[in-house]
Amino acid sequence: MNEAIIFDLDGVIVSTDHYHYRAWKEIADREHVPFDEERNGLLRGVSREKSLEILLELAPRTYSAEEKKQLAEEKNKIYRQLLQELTPADILPGVLTWIDEAKEKGLRIAIGSSSKNTDFILERIGLSDTFDAVVTGADVEHSKPAPDIFLLAAERLGAGPEQCWVIEDAPAGIVAAKAAGMKTIGVGEFVQNSGADRWALTLGEAKL
């Protein structure tokens, strides 16, 4: 029996891609930086700071550290305002079934997300008290693709890395989980060829 499951949040539990895109797009347009949904795909699964660095690669000027900090804060403010639209109806198909079945089998479950807004998102969708542990980008020095988030989640669950399955929708997350010595289930088109141990188009189709 597998003893622990660590879920990514964005793209696995709930989809916030369109909120991220709208927020980054507002920043990009204001700064005259080319940005579209294809470019937005490069930001999947990485930290806010790293996302900003990727966005600014096409900027017409350079930015100081203070300017970057301000832009990241402004993006997060816009994003959090958009997240007010989230409700439990936004939980992705298959999620609640996975959670129920894991609990029935006595498996421990955690969230391992780069998002520093994880607690707020879980509150909005009604899952604040569902998981045995929640680890976010605010809890570690190095976010994905470093393994820190998943290693800390395993520690808080009292499980060894070899006992953990990680469910991810982003290549950076698959890399992080493998670096942590964990087994992986990739969900969605972005990780179809990422080297995940198992893959499904949706969580509802995925099997442990």
Domain match, 171 and 188 both: yes
Domain match, 135 and 110 both: yes
Closest CA relative to residue 45, chosen from 149, 151, 139: 149
Q: How many separate domains does the chain show?
A: 2
Structural domain ending residue among the three candidates 50, 83, 116: 83
Active site residue 10: yes
What mean pLDDT is predicted for residues 62-81? Answer: 96
Domain match, 105 and 190 both: yes
What mean pLDDT is predicted for residues 160-169? Answer: 96
Active site residue 8: yes
Domain match, 162 and 197 both: yes
CA distance 4 to 129: 17
Domain match, 111 and 68 both: no
What pLDDT was estimated at residue 2?
Answer: 60
3-state secondary structure of 79: helix
CATH value at residue 115? 3.40.50.1000
Number of other residues whose CB lies within 10 A of the CB of residue 173: 34
- Residue in 8, 132, 148, 169 annotated catalytic: 8
The percentage of the chain sitting over the pLDDT mark of 70, rounded to a whole number, equals 99
Domain match, 67 and 166 both: no
Q: At residue 128, does pLDDT exceed 90?
A: yes
How far are the Cα atoms of 5, 154, 169, 185, 197 from residue 193, in angstroms, in the given order? 21, 25, 11, 12, 10
Contact 124, 136 (CB under 8 A): no
- Residue in 10, 132, 148, 169 annotated catalytic: 10
Domain of residue 146 covers 4-15+88-205
Whether the CA torsion 49, 88, 35, 176 is positive or negative: it is positive
Task: Give this prediction's pTM.
Answer: 0.85
Domain match, 45 and 106 both: no
Q: At residue 45, does pLDDT exceed 80?
A: no
| DSSP conformational letter for 14 | B
Domain match, 22 and 40 both: yes
CATH value at residue 68? 1.10.150.240
**What integer best gives the mean pLDDT of the chain?**
94
